[in-house]
Amino acid sequence: MISRTQDLEILLTVADCGGFSAAARQMDIQVARVSRSISRLEKELKVTLINRTTRKLQFTDEGLFFLDQVRSGLQQLAVAEESLKQAKDTPGGRLRVDGASPFILHQLAPLMEEFRNCYPDIRLELVANETIIDLIERRTDIAIRIGDLDDSNLHARLLGRGKLHLVASPDYLQRRGVPQTQEALQQHDLIGFADAPHLNIWPFSNPMKIEPTISSSNGEVVRNLCLKGLGIALLSNFMVQDDIAEGSLIALMTEQLVSPNRREVVQAVYYQNSAIAARISAFLDFIQPRLKL
């Protein structure tokens, strides 16, 4: 039996994802179920919430008003749920953690079996995003961010620093030679980041803005391009430390990179909210000493 709360969760997901199909993928349900939930709400409320065509959907004024009320109401439900969990002195409830896919893959995923054993009442969601998100809109409790913060409304907890490495594969270096200077680097194939120009400024004493030969919005893709011998990349230690230890990537010009620098900072950010404080603290207290940055 479908509950009203489930219908409201589906409505929020449609709004956050921008469509029925995207919401269905996010929730791992059929598109038809999404459509039925929205239709059921509209029938019960006797109002159109969403105008939809074959190409796009748009919330009506009534739908936007209702959406704000639903978001607030579900947050209050989360408060009540967490209050009951805290009464038993056991952190529990849903905890949604956002981070770049390389950080989730290399740092968080290996720790999650032990975390689940320690906190079985926490329903953990790990969500990969390569761009900075709005925590409230995405109903996210914690975001792991690398680099300085601009949003002063967020509380931040420093998790550590991830040193940067300039790396290339042995095969690439054998074919193209080993650069020793910034000038020499400009003669090489450089792998950079799409849609993030600040990540294409490499931290030498005289910062070097690169023109990538190939780029990606995903750091794990950049790492794999580097492993395949397609060029030189600047990546965080938490991504490539095992590759360097195994010899599949070689660190270059290590003494010339400026450290510390703003890209090394790894922080957890969140809105201060007593309703989720217990599970946030449990998660951060657990991962911080176990991270290998």
- Average pLDDT of the segment spanning 138-164: 80
Residue type, 57: L
* Beta bridge partner(s), residue 94: 123
pLDDT of 151 over the 60 cut: no
Number of domains making up the chain: 3
pLDDT of residue 153: 66
116 with 175, same domain? no
* Maximum pairwise Cα distance, the chain: 70
Q: Which helix (H) or strand (E) holds 5?
A: helix 4-17
Which tens digit of pLDDT belongs to each residue from 241-257? 999 999 999 999 999 99
pLDDT of residue 152: 56
Say which CATH number the domain at 242 has: 3.40.190.10
pLDDT confidence of 150, banded at 50, 70, 90? low
- The residue ranking higher by pLDDT, 3 or 25, is 25
174 with 254, same domain? yes
20 with 143, same domain? no
Last residue of one domain, picked from the residues 48, 83, 118 = 83
Last residue of one domain, picked from the residues 83, 116, 136 = 83
43 with 110, same domain? no
Cβ atoms 130, 100 nearer than 8 A: yes
190 with 148, same domain? no
pLDDT of 131 over the 70 cut: no
254 with 172, same domain? yes
pLDDT of 274 over the 70 cut: no
- The residue ranking higher by pLDDT, 208 or 13, is 208
For the chain, what percent of residues have pLDDT higher than 70?
Answer: 88
Which range of residues forms the domain containing residue 75?
A: 4-83
151 with 268, same domain? yes
194 with 151, same domain? no
141 with 201, same domain? no
Least trusted range by pLDDT, from 133-137, 163-167, 197-201: 133-137
- Average pLDDT of the segment spanning 29-39: 89
Three-class SS of 17-34: HCCHHHHHHHHCCCHHHH
Least trusted range by pLDDT, from 175-179, 244-248, 268-272: 268-272
pLDDT of 46 over the 50 cut: yes
280 with 240, same domain? no
pLDDT of residue 1: 40
> In sequence order, which residues have a C-beta less than 8 Å from that of residue 267 and are 6 or more positions away?
144, 145, 146, 149, 156, 157, 158, 159
Last residue of one domain, picked from the residues 83, 110, 131 = 83
pLDDT of 83 over the 70 cut: no
Q: Which helix (H) or strand (E) holds 232?
A: strand 232-236
pLDDT of 122 over the 80 cut: yes
pLDDT of 193 over the 90 cut: yes
187 with 243, same domain? yes
Burial, 291: exposed, middle or buried (Cβ in 10 Å; 0-12, 13-18, 19+)? Answer: middle
Angle at 242 between CA 237 and CA 248, to 5 degrees: 105
As a 3-state breakdown, the chain gives helix, strand, coil percent values, each rounded to 5, of 45, 20, 35
pLDDT confidence of 114, banded at 50, 70, 90? very high
- Average pLDDT of the segment spanning 224-232: 97
Distance of CA 174 to the CA centre of its chain: 35
Q: Please, what is the average pLDDT of the chain?
A: 86
How far, in Å, CA of 213 to CA of 158, rounded?
A: 34
How far, in Å, CA of 67 to CA of 63, rounded?
A: 6
- The residue ranking higher by pLDDT, 172 or 29, is 172
pLDDT of residue 134: 52
What stretches of 60-149 adopt beta strand conformation (E)?
Answer: 93-99, 122-128, 142-146
pLDDT of residue 9: 87
- Average pLDDT of the segment spanning 214-230: 95
pLDDT of 90 over the 90 cut: no
DSSP string, 170-193: HHHHHHH----SHHHHTTS-EEEE
Query: Which is it for the CA torsion 145, 162, 102, 178, positive or negative?
Result: positive
pLDDT of residue 135: 54
Give pTM, 2 decimals. 0.68
109 with 146, same domain? yes
